[in-house]
Amino acid sequence: MIDRHFPKTNKLHKIFNRNTVKVSYSCMPNVNLTIKNHNKKLLQQHRNEKAPTETTCNCRQKENCPLKGHCLTKCIVYKATVTETKTNKQETYVGLTENTFQTRFNQHKSSFKLEHKKASTSLSEHIWALKDKNMDYKIEWQILKKTRPYMPGKKTCPLCLEEKLAILRKRGSLNVRKEIFSHCAHQRKFWLSNAPQTAI
């Protein structure tokens, strides 16, 4: 798998190669856990089919919804495609949100308008670079993957892993390398140090 996904021509080969990556069987889930997770997924799909239809968009002007009627979707990895109007040159950015996409979208819009937030993401930095050059642009948003949030006690965060995988697959040309090695921010709210203190 290392040779297939990180050949010598890949810029990450120096980091991920046979000499630097060690695989241990103990890190993999056992067969019993794999079967349980599979059954849990099937049961959840069945429950979702029977559950009442949830509102997926509350935009006043439905035709202007950034996700075409799915802006209230939670726990997703998304992609923003920025196209320069004059040259049709495109750049892409991959991000994630545990909250609704609408909440994250509003944060992005704020970083595009307020200069003190221009360094919030590599996407906002690119937008400000275009604005400084007086270049018109348009942004299209799409969902790459919908997955589960981090669950306390688990070793991995499905949301963060899906984002890193999308970046490695070169779906985000604006994303920087350090995003691949960043720690999961979703675990922090479950840390004991962040637990509310109660009077004894």
- CA neighbours closer than 13 Å in the CB half-sphere of residue 117: 11
90-100, strands of its sheet edge to edge: 90-100, 74-84, 137-146
Q: Please tell me whether residues 42 and 72 are part of one structural domain.
A: no
Q: Domain residues for 43? A: 2-50
- pLDDT tens digits, 122-156: 999 999 999 999 999 999 999 999 998 888 888 88
Q: Is residue 44 part of a domain?
A: yes
Q: Please tell me whether residues 44 and 81 are part of one structural domain.
A: no
Distance in angstroms (rounded) separating the CA atoms of residues 27 and 62: 46
pTM above the 0.75 mark? Answer: no
Distance in angstroms (rounded) separating the CA atoms of residues 80 and 103: 15
Specify the number of domains making up the chain.
2
- pLDDT tens digits, 50-62: 655 678 999 999 9
Q: Is residue 196 part of a domain?
A: no
Amino acid present at 101: F
Q: Is residue 57 part of a domain?
A: no
